[in-house]
């Protein structure tokens, strides 16, 4: 089917032709989907957006409208949504970037579309902000907006995906920030939503911008080994193919490759080279099936084909058919011995299972005709997602882990019994919340109830608490209450009340002062973790020391000079980067550059929370000596230690500072600290160590 524009346009410029062609492609995708054909409203949305963004361009120089068109295309093609979402996608940047308001959109396109656009705008608002809590806040907004319309999230996901695909034209420090956010917020969210394909793409794109060199290395190695991998897989599936053919199956067998990002992660976490990642090999069997009742049976039938042809790993059978994963994933996994003694993971899926696994929600549309996206299907799916979010699997990606989020949050988010959200400073108590809702509640507050448990007025709230305020008309404040509250609002209201009530405050004020002192200290202790995290990255020394330095230009590449008596940067002890490492610079409060390794987990968090403090760095000058630790594992034999020390100190002329050896039976482990000048030299040292007979592992550990 082809889309024919209702209104013929008089095309004038080359650029207008490009825009029209992009829109036509979008419409072709739409009219070929199973959705109802609400072409007219989409055309209107396109015109509206085109007019609104007229004259503006993206950083790449192309007309801005191409971005909303691309996002709309992802929405229909990759997320499987319909006209409401397509319109909202076309209009998604109108409220944020142009003079049009939500009301303008509502007038032309109705409340639903206007609400979705507003939701997306709200999320975007926080993203490039400058506050420490931006990330967490933003993230919560994401989650909270889900409760009104899941399409807000899906649209934001499409927006992010397109921005990641076009990240190359952004300034480097923006690239880091956006890539960091993508890894920390969007990829885990895509995972939770069952959007595996989008999750993989987001991760790989982020990885590519964060570690371009390592990304290229892995991609290169993957393509180098491709032919061999195919041979192995071909040999492995040959007997199974025969059985599938004989049983009359229609099927497809894919040799699956782990994503570059997950290979990288495994290499880093397990400290193993590319060659040792065994599950680079994986095979997926997808069979056609037109009878749902037989789906499960067929999976097990194919399973038996593998048992006949191969030796199976007894502990690696995963039955996700009987009990699907929380995000809806269904498949049968097994691991079997392949050629050259390599274990190969096999995933058995019907076509439908495969599409749901890859596309999540989008796949559901494929099995329905003439659907309207606003209907119950969407609600059901949304409820499932909410359920997953409410009961996260214990060992799944902990993106809901409140502790982690609170590290960056000076605020907490609590709910009333009806589910209204109230924002309070961290450390706020039940009494603060009561006053935040209404003075009357504050004055008569007796206690609070959190998860059916009674707590006193002074109880400190935590993010996510749902709090009921218990009141009594006979209850009256007394001056001690001043100690129980944090917020200015509660304090002022309380003071006013007490003054009116004629309570003598002078004596109480003294008490209060002492009390407040005491309380602050307690508070300090409790929050010390948070404070440490918030303060450390940007303050390498106490305030007042030395003269204020001129501000560092965040847009310029900052050249690092390690070889001067006083390097022009600081090193964070959490990952102690060496000259030559891939590093990130953060500008601290004193306008000094503090370095982290790019893959330091702490830096990952900093990056997404303090993106505006990022500065792109480059190593300059000649490096002087630094300390690095190298871990060596191997099989013990006479004289091996001598060979190691001989190699390091004589042949390579590297100064060994300490040497710790631990031998257990045949195996020895050795930690060696050396004085060395660049990260490259450490790599060279490790490579040379591996040439010694018996050494199985040598890697820099700090």
Q: Which of 423, 283, 292 is nearest to 342 (CA)?
A: 283
Q: Please, which residues bridge with residue 460 across strands? A: 429
Contact 656, 676 (CB under 8 A): no
Residues 6+ apart with CB under 8 A from 417: 466, 467, 468
Q: Which residue is nearest to Mn ion (CB)?
A: 159
Does position 159 bind Mn ion by CB under 5 A? yes
Contact of 657 with 674, CB cutoff 8 Å: yes
In the bound state with Mn ion, the residue whose beta carbon lies nearer, of 159 and 677, is 159
Of 116 and 698, which has the nearer Cβ to Mn ion? 116
Query: Which of 92, 613 has the CB closer to Mn ion?
Result: 92
Beta bridge partners of 454: 449
Q: What is the largest CA-CA distance in the chain?
A: 95
Q: Quick check: 181 binds Mn ion (CB under 5 A)?
A: no
Is 662 considered catalytic here? no
Bridge partner residues of 673 (DSSP) = 629, 658
| Cα angle: 420, vertex 425, 427; to 5 degrees | 110
* DSSP H helices in 211-287: 212-224, 226-246, 260-270
Contact range with Mn ion by CB under 5 A, out of 93-101, 247-255, 474-482, 577-585: 93-101
Tell the smallest beta-carbon distance from residue 93 to Mn ion (Å): 5
Stretch that binds Mn ion, among 152-160, 354-362, 433-441, 670-678 (CB under 5 A): 152-160
Closer by beta carbon to Mn ion, 93 or else 173? 93
DSSP secondary structure code for residue 625 in this structure: -
CB of 20 to Mn ion, least distance (A): 20
Which of 78, 93, 149, 355 touches Mn ion (CB under 5 A)?
93
Task: Retrieve residue 190's tokens.
Answer: 């895509």
CB of 665 to Mn ion, least distance (A): 60
Which 441-460 positions form the footprint of Mn ion (CB under 5 A)? Answer: none
Question: What beta strand segments (E) does 531-637 contain?
Answer: 558-560, 570-571, 583-587, 593-597, 614-615, 617-619, 626-635
Question: Counting beta carbons within 10 angstroms of the beta carbon of residue 450, is it exposed (0 to 12), middle (13 to 18) or buried (19 or more)?
Answer: middle
Beta carbons within 10 angstroms of residue 633's beta carbon: 15
| CB-nearer residue toward Mn ion: 159 or 465 | 159
Residue with tokens 């039938």: 301
Judged by CB under 5 A, how many residues of this single chain contact Mn ion? 2
Q: Of the two residues 93 and 432, which places its CB atom closer to Mn ion in the complex?
A: 93
Tell me whether residue 158 or residue 356 sits nearer to Mn ion (CB atom).
158
From 12-20, 44-52, 153-161, 616-624, give the range in contact with Mn ion by CB under 5 A: 153-161
517 Cβ neighbours under 8 A, 6+ residues apart: none
Nearer to Mn ion, 162 or 349 (CB): 162
At closest approach, how far in Å is the CB of 682 from Mn ion? Answer: 42
Packed helices 83-90 and 14-31: angle between N→C axes, nearest 10 degrees: 160
Q: Which stretch binds Mn ion (CB under 5 A): 159-167, 309-317, 480-488, 580-588?
A: 159-167
Burial class (CB in 10 A: 0-12, 13-18, 19+), 203: buried
Catalytic residue among 62, 96, 279, 398: 96
Contact (CB, 8 A) for 491 and 482: yes
Beta-ladder partners of 332: 319, 348
Q: Which residues of 343-355 are buried (b: 16+ CB within 10 A; e: fewer)?
A: bbbbbbbbbbbbb
Pairing status of strand 570-571 against strand 593-597? parallel
**Of 142 and 263, which has the nearer Cβ to Mn ion?**
142
φ and ψ at residue 568, rounded to 5 degrees: -85, 25
Shortest distance in whole angstroms from residue 610 CB to Mn ion: 23
Q: Does 204 bind Mn ion (CB under 5 A)?
A: no
Scanning 130-138, 155-163, 171-179, 455-463 for contacts with Mn ion by CB under 5 A, the matching segment is 155-163
- Give the range of 4-12, 89-97, 418-426, 618-626 binding Mn ion by CB under 5 A: 89-97
CB of 187 to Mn ion, least distance (A): 18
Binding segment for Mn ion among 10-18, 88-96, 221-229, 691-699 (CB under 5 A)?
A: 88-96
CB 643 to Mn ion: min, Å: 59
Q: Which is nearer to Mn ion, 139 or 236 (CB)?
A: 139
Q: Which of residues 499-538 bind Mn ion (CB under 5 A)?
A: none
Strands 318-319 and 411-415: unpaired
The contact mask relative to Mn ion for 112-151 (x = CB under 5 A, - = no) is ----------------------------------------
Min CB(48)–Mn ion separation in Å: 16
From 97, 106, 411, 563, active-site residue: 97
Distances (CA, A) of 311 to 5, 178, 339: 59, 45, 11
Distance CA 377, CA 400 (A): 26
Extract the tokens encoding 20.
Answer: 């029209």
Question: At which residue do the structure tokens 């809806």 appear?
Answer: 328
Q: CB nearer to Mn ion: give 78 or 159.
A: 159
Q: How far apart are CA 240 and CA 253, in angstroms?
A: 10
Lookup: tokens for 157: 């996901």
| Least distance from Mn ion to the Cβ atom of residue 124, Å | 7
* Residue 227 annotated among the catalytic residues of the structure: no
Shortest gap between Cβ of 139 and Mn ion (angstroms)? 18
Name which of 21, 133, 2, 141 is nearest 69 in CA terms. Answer: 21
**Residue 44: CB minimum distance to Mn ion, A:** 20
Segment near Mn ion (CB under 5 A), from 1-9, 90-98, 194-202, 672-680? 90-98
Q: Annotate each residue in 595-634 with x if it binds Mn ion (CB under 5 A) or - if it does not, as one string.
A: ----------------------------------------
Q: Which residues contribute to the site for Mn ion (CB under 5 A)?
A: 93, 159
| Catalytic residue annotation | 96-97
């Amino acid at each position: 089917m082809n889309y024919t524009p209702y209104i013929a346009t008089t095309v004038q410029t080359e650029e207008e032709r490009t825009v029209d062609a992009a829109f036509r492609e979008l419409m072709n995708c739409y009219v070929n989907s199973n959705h109802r054909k609400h072409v007219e409203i989409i055309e209107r949305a396109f015109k509206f957006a085109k007019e609104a963004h007229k004259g503006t361009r993206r950083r790449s120089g192309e007309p801005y409208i191409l971005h909303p068109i691309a996002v709309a295309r992802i929405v229909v093609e990759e997320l499987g949504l319909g006209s409401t979402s397509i319109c909202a996608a076309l209009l998604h940047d109108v409220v944020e970037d142009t003079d049009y308001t939500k009301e303008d959109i509502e007038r032309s396109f109705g409340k639903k579309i206007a609400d979705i656009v507003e939701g997306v705008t709200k999320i975007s608002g926080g993203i490039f902000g400058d506050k420490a809590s931006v990330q967490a806040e933003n993230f919560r907004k994401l989650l909270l907006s889900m409760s009104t319309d899941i399409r807000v999230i899906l649209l934001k996901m499409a927006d992010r995906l397109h921005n990641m695909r076009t990240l190359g034209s952004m300034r480097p420090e923006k690239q880091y920030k956006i890539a960091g956010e993508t890894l920390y917020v969007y990829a885990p969210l895509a995972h939770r939503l069952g959007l595996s394909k989008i999750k993989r793409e987001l991760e790989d794109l982020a990885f590519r911008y964060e570690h371009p060199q390592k990304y290229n290395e892995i991609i290169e190695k993957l393509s180098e080994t491709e032919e061999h991998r195919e041979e192995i897989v071909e040999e492995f599936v040959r007997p199974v193919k025969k059985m599938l053919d004989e049983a009359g199956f229609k099927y497809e067998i894919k040799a699956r490759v782990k994503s570059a990002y997950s290979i990288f992660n495994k290499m880093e976490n397990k400290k193993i080279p590319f060659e040792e990642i065994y599950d680079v090999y994986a095979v997926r069997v997808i069979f056609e099936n037109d009878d749902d009742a037989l789906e499960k049976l067929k999976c097990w039938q194919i399973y038996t084909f593998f048992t006949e042809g191969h030796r199976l790993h007894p502990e690696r059978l995963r039955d996700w058919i009987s009990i699907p994963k929380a995000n809806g994933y269904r498949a049968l996994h097994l691991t079997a011995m392949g050629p050259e003694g390599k274990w190969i993971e096999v995933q058995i899926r019907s076509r439908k299972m495969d599409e749901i696994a890859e596309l999540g929600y989008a796949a559901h549309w494929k099995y329905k005709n003439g659907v309207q996206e606003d209907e119950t299907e969407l609600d059901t799916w949304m409820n499932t997602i909410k359920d997953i979010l409410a009961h996260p699997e214990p060992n799944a990606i902990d993106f809901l882990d409140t502790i982690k989020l609170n590290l960056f949050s000076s605020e907490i988010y609590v709910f009333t019994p009806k589910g209204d959200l109230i924002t309070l400073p961290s450390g706020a108590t039940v009494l603060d919340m009561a006053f935040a809702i209404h003075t009357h509640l504050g004055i008569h507050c007796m206690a609070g109830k959190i998860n059916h448990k009674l707590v006193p007025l002074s109880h400190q709230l935590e993010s996510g608490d749902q709090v009921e305020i218990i009141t009594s008309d006979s209850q009256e404040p007394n001056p001690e209450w001043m100690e129980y509250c944090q917020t200015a609002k509660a304090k002022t209201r309380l003071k006013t009340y007490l003054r009116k009530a004629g309570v003598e405050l002078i004596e109480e004020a003294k008490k209060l002062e002492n009390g407040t002192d005491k309380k602050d200290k307690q508070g300090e202790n409790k929050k010390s973790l948070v404070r440490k995290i918030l303060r450390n990255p940007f303050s390498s020394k106490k305030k007042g020391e030395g003269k204020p330095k001129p501000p560092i230009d965040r847009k310029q590449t900052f050249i690092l000079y390690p070889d001067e008596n006083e390097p022009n940067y600081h090193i964070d002890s959490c990952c102690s980067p060496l000259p030559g490492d891939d590093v990130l610079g953060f500008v601290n409060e004193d306008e000094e550059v503090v370095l982290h390794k790019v893959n330091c987990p702490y830096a990952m968090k900093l990056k997404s929370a303090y993106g505006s403090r990022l500065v792109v760095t480059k190593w300059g000058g000649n490096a002087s000596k630094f300390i690095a630790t190298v871990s060596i594992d191997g099989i013990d034999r006479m004289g091996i230690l001598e060979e190691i020390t001989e190699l390091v100190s004589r042949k390579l002329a590297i100064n060994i500072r300490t040497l710790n050896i631990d031998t257990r039976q045949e195996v020895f482990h050795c930690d060696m600290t050396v004085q060395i000048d660049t990260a490259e030299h450490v790599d060279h040292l490790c490579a040379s160590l591996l040439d010694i007979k018996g050494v199985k592992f040598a890697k820099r550990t700090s």
